[in-house]
Structure 1
Amino acid sequence: MSVAFTKEDSAETASETLLPDRPISDAPNLVTPEGMTALEQQRDAARAAYDAAMLIEDVNERRRQAANPLRDLRYFAERVRTAQLVPASESPGEVAFGSTVTFERDDDRRQSYRIVGEDEADPKAGTISYVSPIARALIGKAVGEVVSVGAMELEIVAVG
């Protein structure tokens, strides 16, 4: 095989393995206890995947297989390092980080979400980030209060 093909393959492999870092928000990295556990588990899973990739004998394949786990490992290690664990609110009835809030929309739909950190947020699973517009509007409010988010109004009907 000619050296030219080797260099081309190496350049191609290098471009596949130099993945940009995952973006990290400028907002404080607030987490619930469950969120901290999840971040640690994701960091550990990325470490295990990276370690497994490093056992691959073919250097080009090893680089390809290690690229994503290494990027994830950097991300989750940084998120664990900067995590600020937020204890449960001491103000029952007031929407706060970690609270589950139920509200009724102006179209009569009722929704419940737990307000959590950015890495924990999954609206389909019932969690929203504390930096989301809805969470920002709800935090500090109590049952019976109405908040406006964009063109809709939300009435808080329960806080837990």
Structure 2
Amino acid sequence: MSALVVYESLWGNTAAIAHAIGEGIGEDTLVHHTGEIEAAEAAAALLLVVGAPVHAFSLPSATTKKSVAERPLAPGDIVPDLSQPPLRAWLEGLPAASGFAAAFDTRVRGPLGHGGASKIEKILVERGYSIANRSQGFYIINEKNVKAEGSMLRPGELDRAREWGRLLASRV
């Protein structure tokens, strides 16, 4: 496979960004969440792009996902998708490879929004990947009540994700 985008998403925001990145890379790009593709399969990609939302300065963990699961829903809220294996666990199964890679996250603006993409990028480098472009953060609006999948993205972020995907494709 030439390009693969793998993500973890709870309310669809990271999924929407992943699909936009895939569109930017090109029509043959595969886009899957962590439950749809084994990490070992990812080693065959010439370009691997990996992303997740930021939770408490880092990648989602069992603890942060538990707090999401226990959060009371308001009328009309969507239920978060907690069925996807955590990206942390998926990355643990990622074998050594020599392709190109890039990392992204979805985050809020400000000091609370950093930490996911840089951790992903570090793991990718440890596995032997060459970084195609420095990691990117795509911004969401910090809302307590989520009414629709992917609805928390700031305006323009999907276009920015497509453009970043085109940039990644040009570097590989």
- Scaled by the length of structure 1, what TM-score is found? 0.30
Tell which structure's C-alpha radius of gyration is larger: 1
Q: Which has the higher contact order (CA 8 A, sep 6+)?
A: 2
Q: Which has more helix, going by share of residues?
A: 1
